[in-house]
Amino acid sequence: MLMPCEIAVKSVIPAIRAYVATELTQKHKMKQTDAANRLGITQTAISKYIAHVRGQEIRISQNQEIRNMMNQIVLKIADGEIAGPQLILGFCEVCRAVRQNGLMCQLCKRSDPTFDIRSCNACKNGQACKGTF
């Protein structure tokens, strides 16, 4: 069984990046290289996110709360107000909200079909993100 953080790294973070990359390049008309520099990734990665080659494992943008959080990040990136450690914290906040809203549960189930997601509250109560059990 994969740990929730492993699943998040493989699915949630790429989904956030895909949304942010698409918004930056389409709504804010930012060049892929500029978006890549602001996100600290390559232009090739941006291209793959926009082309839906990466970041499609989980559909988090359908949740209004998550979309609002990501839009705030997009605006701050576009305005040059966020970078580095602050950007990392922004992504962590979105990831935490994804987990607390139960949006990642099916991915946990997929990683271990015997896992009972109905009795798991690790992500929903936020304990997995705080390192306590």
What is the spatial distance between Cα 127 and Cα 98, in angstroms, rounded to a whole number?
Answer: 14
Query: Looking at the 3D structure of the chain, how many domains does it have?
Result: 1
Beta-carbon neighbour count of residue 95 at 10 Å? 24
Instruction: Indicate whether 133 belongs to any domain.
Output: no
Instruction: Indicate whether 81 belongs to any domain.
Output: yes
Burial 4-21 (b: 16+ CB within 10 A, else e): beebbeebbbbbbbbbbb
5-30 pLDDT, tens digit per residue, is: 899 999 999 999 999 999 999 999 99
Instruction: Indicate whether 119 belongs to any domain.
Output: yes
Average pLDDT of the residues of the chain = 91
What is the spatial distance between Cα 57 and Cα 122, in angstroms, rounded to a whole number?
Answer: 21
Give the pLDDT of residue 133. 44
Give the pLDDT of residue 46. 98
pLDDT at 92 over 70: yes
Instruction: Indicate whether 22 belongs to any domain.
Output: yes
Give the pLDDT of residue 129. 54
List the structure tokens of 19. Answer: 């949304």
Instruction: Indicate whether 19 belongs to any domain.
Output: yes
What residue numbers bound the domain in which 78 lies? Answer: 4-127
Instruction: Indicate whether 70 belongs to any domain.
Output: yes
pLDDT at 130 over 60: no
Instruction: Indicate whether 68 belongs to any domain.
Output: yes
Where do we find the tokens 């990734």? 41
Mean pLDDT of the region 68-85:
96
Instruction: Indicate whether 132 belongs to any domain.
Output: no
